[in-house]
Chain A
Amino acid sequence: MGFAYFPHTDEDIKEMSGRIGINSLDELYADVPRDVIYKGDFDIPDGMSEMDIRRKFGEMAGRNTGLTIFAGGGACDHYSPAVISSIISRSEFLTSYTPYQAEVSQGTLRYIFEFQTMMAGLTGMDCANASMYDGPTSAAEAVMMSAACSKKKKRVLLSGTLLPQVLDVVRTYARFHGIETSEVPGNGGVSDLPAIGRELQGGDVAGVLVPGINRFGIIEDMEGLAEKVHEAKALLIMYSDPSSLSVIRCPGEWGADIVCGEAQTLGIPLNFGGPYLGFICCRKEYVRKMPGRIVGETVDADGKRCYVLTLQAREQHIRREKATSNICSNQSLMALHATVYLSLMGNSGLKRVNELSYGGAHYLHARLMETGLFADAFPGRPFLKEFAVVPRMPVRELQDVLLKNGYFGALPCGEGIVSFCVTEKRSRSEIDGLVSVIDNSFRQR
């Protein structure tokens, strides 16, 4: 029986074997010790036809529940325009490798250059790399980068208001890499800037990692922080949501040195957690310490404008054990996704996304407060699309009622605190539906 992905006929195999001088394919493994050759059966099913595959995976997809998403927590349900899937499924992009051969990779190199330009513009930094795996790993890399920039200092401060998975991943990397992390607990729902200032006075801090928008959805006010950090000869690293940066003050305007974060918010599907899109941007004086791929502009032998991977002396395949990062790829196709998204949106579309998310989130917040079933977790704190409240009913009961009615929201984000997230995808009737489900289930009791 043939198989669709193997072009070999018996005749082909015979001719090829003849050229090599073997009589059976087993001889190709003559250099492998006999007792290491696997002779058993694999514990995997018999091969399936394409129709069987569709049926089986359709059934498995059916064992998931599609929900109306009112949750964030580091993954937001933003809209993905139809153009994007059409472009990123083009096989010239999808089935190519890392653009080592620049002459036949100008497509990839050009969109990465565009991506770098857009990310630098959004964050207010001088340059960006070609992307990282996801937000939390980009934060870990940014923390290692700050330590590499300072050479001697090996301590980094982490604001306790960062998303829990960001804190966890940074701590894992730091522990093995030999960086000491000190978490500075939040105060009143935001980073404790005075406490960070006190920690900096020891003079042993290489970097300070704070969120632009924190785990409670609060837009943090970083006034004066960059000055304090720079006085202590440390670097300010901000963890950012790039989607928000068309309306809220960008890390460059706060005086940040390095920016990292999760760019899944640029219309990338939720996908049960991946693939997503991490990124790192920085001021130009630190670019040679930046991890990952970087694309630069140059000219070819005829003087034509073209693009190449550049500054590779930083990278693992050159520096080997002297490298400060081991990353040797990026999330290129996801970077293309974000680049096409931002090309379509432009300044005005991204602003509209934020207006719709802001409007919906503030409407939901007001309606929930009206029910009398919630208290503000941090009254008066400004938020964009995600906010935290204290429910007067047990959290588990609230979640169950929402789930039963097809909603996913009320994500636990602290002791007795839950968060809701509203994007441009949520309509007024969906929001009203969510509120009435809560109202009907808990008010009459």
Chain B
Amino acid sequence: MRYYDKLIFELSREGRQGWSLPENRWEERPDELPEGLKRKNSPGLPQVSEPDVVRHYVNLSDMNFGVDTGFYPLGSCTMKYNPKINEEIASIPGFACLHPLQPAETVQGAMEIYTGLAGCLCSLTGMSAFTLNPFAGAHGELTGLMIMRQYHISRGDMKRTKVIVPDSAHGTNPASAAVCGLQVVEVKSTPEGLIDMEDLKPLLDDTVAGIMMTNPNTLGLFEREIKEIASSVHAAGGLLYYDGANMNALLGKVRPGDMGFDIMHLNLHKTFSTPHGGGGPGAGPVGVAAHIAGLLPSPVVRKAEDSDMYEMAENPDGPGRISGFAGNFGVLVKAYVYILTLGKENVKNVGPYSVLAANYVKESLKDMYRLPVNSLCKHEFVFDGLDMDNAGTDESAGCTTLDVAKRLLDYGFHAPTIYFPLLFHQSIMIEPTETESKETLDAFIQAMRAIAREAATQPDLLKSAPHNTPVRRPDETLAATRPVLSWHPGL
């Protein structure tokens, strides 16, 4: 990786072009539009030749770190290998060239993929039906909560406007609830990091719409009392929502439907190997149990009643439409390829291998990093910073989680998720996934141990890290106090 300091606008020269389009031989031209409807000022797009465009973006890519570059132990993000065959299949013209409003008889293959993937997801999760329309995990949460509210509204139960969210939850959970018009009630965690049943029970009254849970939770711990939680919430008339961000731990081993969840979402870009793309596009399919299977958003893809044909239809009983068309189809194709490549046998190993990797890393580092909950973890775990006693350092050296994360970049690893969950002050959340070899994990363990030793002997090395990256620590305060959000000539 090396620093490259250009913006595309700075390569622009009057008279250059990077396009190759046919000559305009039409007689009718947009010049003849009424003056008042025409653009007056320039949109300010750059003028750059094709080779310069290519080199510019290849240079930019050289400042980026991806899963194909190296180990990416980002907790809660499941940065597993993104298979190349997925990409190839998704780009087949027979899929990529389909217009979303084409008549059903011309898109039977695409609908076969939609329903085939939905069927696999049902089997893997124990749900009864899936919509693949939501575009991302947070979009899935919002869709799932809309279904939850729609369920209560359809029963005439209008007072259920509260949703219970654990204090360890992802930030999207309370935000999705608020966007959906629900009031958030927080339930506390026990010192062991699990939902506190004593805190939960008094919250369960007839205004509760449901509870949102991540299991294993954001500490990587399995909520052992899930069956009891499920029966208590159900007895109070609420529904259970499963945030599938951490589903990789359970894939092939435990199904949310069997734990008593009524609604859930999956992140295809986490558990089902589709690339994160620098922040998207993802896909956040939502599954529902049999008793609310009729409440999915429009459009629904299904077999037509009197024929073998698939059709796309409105669902008047659901919450409405939450996407322009039927989801990020290109992403759905990739996830379906992944599931069919895995097959019914290999899929059973995904969860166990990811949990094996996480526990191996945890056990190999817990003498040098503080482990707040010392027990079996699932696919990820959380350290609360360096263990000052065992690492031979003291508080005065003052190396923080941020320093450790930045120093890891120098060792050629991406940093883990840091300062989340909010339960601890120095959280380091590590998720290795099942596609990393023991050699990779060992190299990471060695780097983490070396950094812990450096913290004791050369703390400044950490505090000034990273040293080997294209840029060093950015001044985030400057960015926020004097926001520069676009390029201007002479800037």
Contact = CB atoms under 8 A, between A and B. Distances in A.
Given A121-B43, A355-B26, A102 B435 contact: no
A176 B145 CA distance: 9
Contacts of B340: 44-45, 47-48, 53, 56
A423 to B, nearest CB: 11
Contact of A38 (B61, B72, B82, B255): B255
Interface in A204-238: 219, 221, 223
A316 to B, nearest CB: 3
Nearest to B346: A3
Interface residues of B, number: 202
B474 A308 contact: yes
A349 B18 contact: yes
B99 A408 contact: yes
Given A33-B227, A176-B181, 12 more contacts: A19-B360, A97-B77, A97-B276, A98-B276, A124-B41, A136-B324, A275-B330, A311-B480, A318-B171, A323-B175, A331-B281, A343-B8
B106 A320 contact: no
A219 B34 CA distance: 10
10 contacts: A87-B61, A105-B63, A253-B41, A273-B323, A274-B135, A310-B485, A333-B275, A342-B46, A408-B103, A424-B21
Contacts of A334: 277, 280-281
A127 B486 CA distance: 7
Interface stretch (B87-95, B236-244, B384-392, B450-458): B87-95
A263 interface: no
A345 B486 CA distance: 19
Contacts of A57: 89, 92, 333, 337
Contact of A274 (B330, B415, B487): B330
Nearest to A2: B346
Contacts of B485: 113, 116, 120, 126-128, 287, 294-297, 310
B112 A63 contact: yes
Contacts of A124: 41
Nearest to B124: A42
B24 interface: yes
Interface stretch (A8-16, A192-200, A370-378, A435-443): A8-16
B473 interface: yes
- Nearest first, the 6 closest Cβ-Cβ pairs linking A and B are A359-B26, A47-B343, A61-B94, A273-B325, A273-B100, A333-B277
A344 B258 CA distance: 52
B475 A300 contact: yes
A43 B123 contact: yes
Contacts of A256: none
Given A8-B353, A323-B179, A346-B48, A274 B278 contact: no
A166 B90 CA distance: 26
Contacts of A135: 324
Given A92-B68, A296-B484, A322-B178, A270 B98 contact: yes
B291 interface: no
A124 B340 CA distance: 47
Given A248-B39, A349-B18, A93 B277 contact: yes
Given A221-B36, A274-B325, A297 B484 contact: yes
Contacts of B130: none
A92 B63 CA distance: 8
Interface string B161-191: 0000100001110111111110010000000
Contacts, number: 691
Interface in B30-70: 30, 33-34, 36-48, 50, 53-54, 56-58, 60-69
B198 interface: no
B446 interface: no
A442 B342 CA distance: 52
Contacts of B179: 144, 173, 176-177, 323-326
B349 to A, nearest CB: 6
A327 B176 CA distance: 8
A73 B438 contact: no
A54 interface: yes
Most B C-beta atoms less than 10 A away, residue of A15, A304, A315: A304
A165 B324 contact: yes
B101 A73 contact: yes
B352 A304 contact: no
B475 A20 contact: no
B21 A349 contact: yes
A246 to B, nearest CB: 6
Contacts of A246: 39, 43, 45
B483 A287 contact: yes
Given A116-B485, A128-B486, A382-B37, A310 B480 contact: yes
A168 interface: yes
A134 B24 contact: no
Contacts of B53: 83, 340, 343-344
A328 B172 contact: yes
A333 B277 CA distance: 5
Contacts of A248: 30, 33, 37-39
A102 B471 contact: yes
A260 interface: no
A101 B26 contact: no
A46 B346 CA distance: 9
B345 interface: yes
B325 A75 contact: yes
Interface in A134-170: 134-137, 144, 165-166, 168-169
B68 A64 contact: no
Contact of B175 (A5, A62, A326, A366): A326
Given A20-B356, A31-B222, A75-B101, A363 B175 contact: no
Nearest to B107: A64
B471 A300 contact: yes
A33 B178 CA distance: 33
Contacts of B322: 137, 169, 172-173
Nearest to A323: B175
Nearest to B72: A97
A187 interface: no
A326 B224 contact: no
A242 to B, nearest CB: 9
A92 B65 contact: yes
Interface string A49-84: 010011011111111111101010111010101010
Contacts of A136: 321, 323-324
B403 interface: no
Contacts of A182: none
A414 interface: no
A134 B255 CA distance: 31
B232 interface: no
A106 interface: yes
Interface in B113-130: 113, 119-120, 122-124, 126
Contacts of A103: 406, 409, 466, 469-474
B178 A323 contact: yes
Contacts of A298: 474-476, 478-479, 484
A389 interface: no
B286 to A, nearest CB: 14
Contact of A91 (B45, B69, B110, B464): B69
B328 A344 contact: no
A326 B141 contact: yes
Contacts of A36: 226-227, 254, 258-259
A46 B30 contact: no
A332 interface: yes
A256 to B, nearest CB: 14
Given A274-B135, A330-B280, A247 B470 contact: no
Given A221-B36, A321-B178, A326-B142, A104 B479 contact: no
B364 interface: yes
Contacts of A117: 7, 9, 44, 486-487
A42 B123 contact: yes
A169 B172 contact: no
A97 B329 contact: no
